[in-house]
Structure 1
Amino acid sequence: MAPARGPGNTEVYVHEIERTTEYADFIQKLIAFHEKRGTPFEPEPRLPTMHGHVHVDLYRLYKAVIEKGGYDELNKVQKAWGLLAGELGMHYVDSKGMGQLSFQLKQDFYRYLCAFWIQDQYGKEPPPREILEQQSCASKHGPVLTRTVENFKASARRSGEETPTKEDRQPDSTPASGNRASGRLREAPPQRVPFQPETGPSRQTRHASSQHGTPTSNASHNTHGAQHNHLLPQHHNPNSPIHIIQAQQNALRGVSSSYTPANSETASRLGESFDPRPLITVPLRPVNTPGNNPEEFSKRQRQLRMQAAGLASARPVMPGAGFDGPNIYTRCLQSLRSGIPAEQSFALNHLVKISYERGDKYKFESFLGLAEGLIEKGLEIGSLFHDVDWQVAYFGEQDSSNIAVLDGLNGTDDILERIAKLPRKSVLDYMQPAEFSDRLLRITESILTIRNMVMLVENAIYMAEVYPLKDLLCIVLHLPNLEMLVEVKHFALDIAEQLTPWLMMDSTDPLYQTLLNQLGSSDRGTILTSMRAISRISMNLDATNKLQNVPAVVLQNIMNWLLLNDEELMDACLDFLYQYTAVVANVESLLKAVDMEHVVPHLVRLLAHGAKRVKEDKILEPERKAPCSEEVASLPQDLQEQLTNTDEPTRCFRWLQSLFEEDSESHITQIAIWQAYQGSFGALAGGVRNTLSAADFIRNVSHVFVNARAQIIRGPGEGQRFIIEGIRARKSPVDYETKEEYMRCQWQVVKGPFSKRCNHFYLGGEKMWRHILAAHLRVTFSDDGEVEDKEITTFCDWLGCVKYPKPTRMKLSELTRHIKTHVPAAPKRSLTDGSEPLAKRQKRSYVTPAKAMTLAWEQTIITRDERNPKLEQAAGIPLSAVLVLRNIARNVVKTEAEEELLKQHEMGGEGGGWNEKLFRPVMVRLFEVMTENKALAGYITSLLQLVQDD
């Protein structure tokens, strides 16, 4: 898979699972570890990234965490898990998404790898799962390596998970200044109300309640309280909520407000162990009284007076009053069975709605009799157009003399013969009575309900065993071709499409023959649904769908439909042909019904259906950058002459522009550039055009190159160095005006026992060519610039050339043509007047561009595996076409037609079998598709093996 595009249209690496042998062994170890530990384990957890969900490679995550020091060390570094996610190829642009991603990655390591990491890396027994996997990684319970049950409980108390003990509370004598210093408000001291048990009766009299606040009663209560003080338990907590509530209740009962509790330091602690009885919640039910419900009591008095006078009640109680009745499902089922038209209309109207809205849960097996009732209602359609009243019998052997009785147990095998014998009623297509339209509407709704419900797989499996439904489909599909019946026929075909994957049908099955007859229709929807229903016969069963006895006219129509520009129809036809050509006998019939020599080229043409041309650049050699050098090239002769007669500082500017260029990552020492300048113009000192001083020269460098600056650096083990950063010396000089690069002459010049390169620079190939002829080959030019084409004995001494290594007798024109191969052509200029030369737009000279190769291929529709996104799989019409071709190539050699063709060859006819005859004309195209279409390459290879083996 190509790298994904990140921010700024840059290529980023996307995390994927590398399914190596080490990865498989690691996952097996983790599975065994978690099974032994009793913790859940997910081998490939999913994480949401900016490029979609990715599956985490736990092996790479484990190695990456170990390299960074382990789980505990990684948690000490802020945003470490986010950086780790980026290194593993998980990306997010916004910080919110990256934070969620890093937390989930940390959680995956904590759940699935943390315990294994402790055992694998340190040889220790991991903490129990109750304090490791069953806790969140965000819990503050300390490092997992040192986590034990004891320190886990301690950290839980610190985090507030347990109620603090009495010793943990802040003492009451804490000064208020401490609270203010911590930024908190001053807290009120806890109230200390003594425990006052109630000794009086649970219900007081009015007299006692009226005298509740008298001193006498208060004194009595105080006396009782004083008597019970010595019975208080030892660990009684006066600050508990229950005690406070009881104290408040006692205060309402008459506890003295002037009671002063005893000193806590001198009081007895025998009552502290008392544990008060917990409060019991008693459910309350309102009771009707004359005060809160006077209407109810007045109604009762009125009824009593009427009974005493002997009068009957004005409103008798209706039967079933107060009962809500059955639910809507049972109501519809019973209404459908009643046979009453109004009730059936009500039931079918609601059944259609329920089947649409609750189709995922509305099942036939939950409502016994619903399927039979809908089928019986649908069979009434026969009486509208034929003189017959279809009935379903679910008992014993059927009487074949009565064609209206259908076999509900085994299905009616002769249903098509019975339909053919039925007399037809005269029904107008555009005008019907109201009763006729209402009956047809109810029948259509019953069939529509079946159609909606069989869209659920459980209902389709259930209805596949209800044989009267197949008879109903045959009856509906053999009704007259009227426009009023188009809708109900399409519903029947939809039902058949959902049932056929669960049915086994041979060539004599009435439903199979009925569906084949529908392929002669002119309705596109009928053809599509019928063909899909036939192709899916016994698709979900072990039995093989042989598709026998398909009429020749149907096969011819299918070949004609393949020529149409209709993808859905082509797809249905290819699915049918794939199932059909899988049987040898069917291939025999296909050879007799259609001209296969025209069909095969068309199927090969469909291999490129929807194809598009894809181009991709492959980098053969990466871009290289030449290292900077302190060596400065010498000025060419023509530039030397021009700059010699130029005043300063212009001469310095042009000299720098010709020999140097900007590079932010390079530098040159000040002494090297100054010596090079002195070497070019130092001989002019004392003349009228003196050179610049060293300080002025260094300042001029920053004027020519904006990013250049003088600096002082100190390397390890060396002294100070004065450099100019941001520039580098060119390998070859350029013209300061046109920016065209000079070419170095690399002809070998022999001087005594040594040889060296000429190293002269010339601008343009013409000047270089003339220099070689004149200076190195000693060729004389005439006044008009021409040379005589004569034979000479010489050789090419250009560096690295092996064309003429030894002296050879040749004509001068032949040698000059060869020399021009070493000399670059003149740069192309734009045709637009006034445009700048191409040399000014050239890239940096010190960078060698990358060598790339453009690959182009043909790509059809593909699909990708979710577990391995790099794997491209063929799909759609091209895949179906190659599968049909492969079936033909595999089975055509097994037919009787193959034997007859071989006999004709023995008698002097054309050689080869059917594969030779069908596939030889398209062999070139098959090889082309195999070469350019990566997704289809494997299928085409297997096809070619079948053809060539023959």
Structure 2
Amino acid sequence: MSTAAARQAGGSSSQQRAYSQPGVAKPPAPRAQAGQAQGRASARVGARQYWSRVFGGPHFLDPGPSNRLVLSIRSGIAADIDFGLDRLVQVTSVDPDLVRLGEMTGLLDGCLALISDYVERRRADRARGVPAFGALVGDDSRDVLRRRAGEAALILRNLAPESRSREPLLTSRKLKKAICDVLDEGETGALDVDETTEIRLCLLDVLECVAEHIPLALPGHAIAITAEEEADEERAAPKPEPADSPSVRLFPLLVSLTRTKDRALILAGFRCLSALALNDKSDSVFALLTYEAVPPLPKPHPHPIQTAIELLPLADAELNLAILEFVYQHTLLPSNAALLATRPELLGILRLLCAKFHVGSRVEEVEIDLGVVQSEAKTYRDSHGAVKHPRKPSALVAAKGNLVTREELAQLVSLPEPSRALTWMRLVYEVDPQSDVSQVALWQTYQAQWAPHMAPGVSPMMPASDVIKVSQQAIPGVQPMVIEAGAEKRFVIRGLRLKERSELLGRHRCRWAGCTSAHALDSARACYHHIYSAHLATSPPPSSCAWHKCAYASTQTEPALILADLALHTRTHLAPLDPPSSSSTSPSDDPTAPLLDLSHILHHARYHTYAGDATAPGAPSPADAHPVQGVGYFAALSVRNLARIAKLAVDAAAAGGAGAGGAGEGGASGGGGGKGASGSVLVASGNSAIGRLAGEQQSIFEAFAAAAEGWSSTTTKDGDVFARLDKVDFAHALPLAEALVALQPTLNATVMSDVALGRVLSEAVLQVEEVRRALLKLRPVDGQAAAAAVEAGEGEGEGEDVRMDE
């Protein structure tokens, strides 16, 4: 499970998070019985003996403050430093359990010292005015420092997932400062900034392992306190964090990583932000209100939620997973979710989230035979037609001919790939959630379309794998997946089908050499008459066929026989002139024939999405782990968060309407009727609500709703921004309720077809139904049209799309 799984609604934020970074050694199972511990100790002894054979001498892996490898990297002697780093890199990459930071005193400080030496050298070079050319000139001493810093960071990265090495990382102040210093070096904008990329990635992996326990603070403010600390009367007043504190520096540095052009840094930035958001003391830092208002923020970058929305449409499963984890954490804060509801492209964002539900899911086709016996066949056929549940439509493979017009083909041939494939797919295919096209069929159709036109100067065709990848860019919403029907596996592209283009259906073009007729004919018979009158019935008639590349020549000598021979031959190039009439009846259509049993097959797609349950049907095996797993799960969790806010929004709007009505009737009655002593609309206090999350008896949203009677009097924050964080007016989130009602059919269909996501979204579906009914009550007179739209499941602004603001 990934970093944000520890903070599901109703879960404890303090539970241990499993590290899921690919390519890093996984932590061993926790120690249990004494026999198991003794077995592991024996395994460690055997592993040390293995490394003795590998190194051809002593392994130097015995724990203690006098460990040879630790003393080597701290000695200051170049040969010894390189010796110690080389041994530790090899061992920690394979057997990280043999090197525990708690047992090898000084290893952590030694690695951090090597990293600091490199950072100081870069700063010294920059002070002398040579940083822009350092990477080009190639200073040997600086390259050595960079290599050692990279190896030291790699050692820490390999050890960070180990539970027995995590405590020294959590308590080390030098580690947080070193991470900030290295990330800050990446923000200098110098030509040699890429030197630090490898070190930054390793330290970001370390930060992800310990980020849950690192509280963040706003500039000029103290770290937030918990409810227990607030109740302690002997507690000293918290002091504002200095500007150079890692608690202040980390957030803006990670935000800037989300705007880089390096995909690896973007992934690491979002993962670390999601892990840092697990700490409840950092809520005010992640709030969108404080990011926009508290100096020295904002930085010259938008809030990460804006970057996440811009990157969400990309067909990148690993990036989608990191982004959706952050979106889930972002929407856990009620103030953030309420502000998200005010975005003009809200409906488009929700549709993107719903489109991610079944990314990487396993699809199972279920066939249900709805047979009808003879005695009921006539009644069934009269009322339902000949076929009740036909098989879902599938695209045909066009092995011959074009799927585009002659004019479109002339424009497409000159385009380079992949622009040609993108434009061609948008002309030929369309979105249909109930259809699919096999990946082989898509490639064969592409090949049949463009293989005849390959010539010098024409862009070569793409390989099959690239054609399948391009389909996701050409038509958003389709997903390549594997459908399992018993023991058979089908590789398809879900949600895609061939267009039924009226300009190509039933149209026939004359392909006779030299024909000047540019218009297409409506039928094969009309095309035949055109060929006969324009090309054959001449004096004298042609002696050979001139249709495209046909080489047929008549063996007759008389003009009349030549004409008859070629007229008969040209029909081989055309469709049948007299297709079977639709009025012909089969024995089953004869009303006097005996009625047979009717067989109607219902084809149902059942999805299995991995949602954290290792025993579920859709769970990946340890040998088949893939970053795509979990994308749909976090998309569903985000939608569930927003559905809870939508429910609070309609309750707030109803309470506000009741308050306004009370003021109108009572005249002199106080503040007029809303919940709370002030008569305002529904509000919730963030700090006081979080304090009631003890024992996992309440989810965060239940706690916020329970605080609706007023604003916590114990709040110590000042200023309008912090007041708005503590006192959220959910009535402004009413557009979110309307947008979710518009997507109600999609949510209902997902719950019915996916068991795993159904457990997550069932609560959201019930809340959306309550929201729909509440919206109808809010507009009984002047909103008849809007109420009717809600009743039909159609929201306002369905045509809106996500706006990509750079």
TM-score normalised to the size of structure 1? 0.35
Q: Which has the higher helix share?
A: 2
TM-score normalised to the size of structure 2? 0.41
Tell me which of the two structures has the higher relative contact order, counting C-alpha pairs closer than 8 angstroms and 6 or more residues apart: 2
Q: Which has the higher strand share?
A: 1
Larger radius of gyration: 1
